[in-house]
Amino acid sequence: MALQRPSPTGSNGRAAQGRFGPGNKLARGNPHAKRAQELRNALFAAVSDEDLKEVVQSLVKQAKEGNIQAAKEVLSRLLGKPENWDTQERLEELEARLGVGERAAG
């Protein structure tokens, strides 16, 4: 199969290398991305490593004292969000009925 080159600017708004060509209105991206990055940078500048360490230690302390919300936050940040086991069990049951799991395993 022959390699097809992207269409030139004019027909689909792309340059010869496939990138957005000059004047393509879809190539503008997210207009708020620059501002969001500026805010992130300001946040990073305002919070020191020691500040972050203290916040995390406080959250862990609260979790140890029985604060369920703090425990959920710590665990979700460390381990990720828990899976919905009910959905997983139903999927495995459906795969077993269809014989999909047997073919994939064997």
Give alpha helix (H) positions in the chain: 33-46, 49-64, 68-79, 85-98, 100-105
Sequential pLDDT tens for the chain (106 residues): 566 665 455 566 677 777 777 777 766 778 899 999 999 999 999 999 999 999 999 999 999 999 999 999 999 999 988 777 788 888 888 888 888 755 544 4
Using CA atoms, how far apart are residues 40 and 47, in angstroms rounded to an integer? 11
Closest CA to 52 of 60, 68, 64: 60
Give this prediction's pTM.
0.50
What is the predicted pLDDT for the residue at 78? Answer: 93
What is the predicted pLDDT for the residue at 76? Answer: 93
What is the predicted pLDDT for the residue at 63? Answer: 97
What is the predicted pLDDT for the residue at 66? Answer: 96
